[in-house]
Amino acid sequence: MYFCIAGDRPIFLDRNRDRYFALAGEKEASFLGLLCGSVPNHASSSTTELIDAGIIQHDRLGAPIAACSYDAPPSASLWDRDEPTSVWGRANAAASLFRATRGLRVSNLSTILTTIEDRKRALASSCRPDGSEVRAATAMAFRALGKVVASHNRCLPYSLAIMDRLLSRGVSADLVFGVAVRPFVAHCWVQQGGAILSDRLEHVRLFTPIMVI
């Protein structure tokens, strides 16, 4: 279970169920109280409902609760560039996008994310050269692909495809999920340090990170 404070409201992501949700009324007030360090009322119905929903654990009541924290705020985007790409690069990007789209149809998101985490850990244990050229070439290839195969409302398959392409070439990055409220919108993107590899900077800045893989 992950959460963030978007605007002035706590928004939750149940990773196993691939579901975003918010709280209402006393439950939200109770959770915000716990977030501020108040002592929980074990007998209150709102506390019981938070436990039943899997948001808090009975044996950890009173322990610190922290929202998603990402120490690399976006500061630039490779998609804001307009650089040429090779036909081969675009073809590889298209193949990765096809695999990612198919993977979402035959597997659940939690399993896919666990695989990405495993691949990142394996990569972290080995010594790799600087991947700046790979990151730039990959971002440009997918940006060019987005002009042919629409990327609007397809942030998840595009992001998964970019992660797959980078990891297969020995380069790591972060897969960031974010939300905005009023109205509620969920989004995800690929980021390395402060550089975004799968979207434009002004768009990503609209969202508050809720989960980072």
**pLDDT for res 75:** 93
- The answer on pLDDT for 117 being more than 90 is yes
- CA-CA distances (angstroms) from residue 213 to 59, 63, 70, 72? 27, 24, 10, 13
Across residues 151-170, what is the average pLDDT?
Answer: 92
- The answer on pLDDT for 163 being more than 90 is yes
Q: Are strands 195-196 and 19-22 parallel, antiparallel or unpaired?
A: unpaired
What residue has token string 């979402």?
A: 104
Q: Using 50, 70 and 90 to split pLDDT, how confident is the model at 119?
A: very high
Q: Using 50, 70 and 90 to split pLDDT, how confident is the model at 51?
A: confident
**pLDDT for res 61:** 56
d(CA 196, CA 207) in angstroms, rounded, equals 13
Q: Using 50, 70 and 90 to split pLDDT, how confident is the model at 92?
A: very high
Whole-prediction pTM = 0.89
Q: Which residues contact 63 (CB under 8 A, 6 or more apart)?
A: none
Average pLDDT, the chain: 88
Element (DSSP H or E) covering residue 180:
strand 174-180
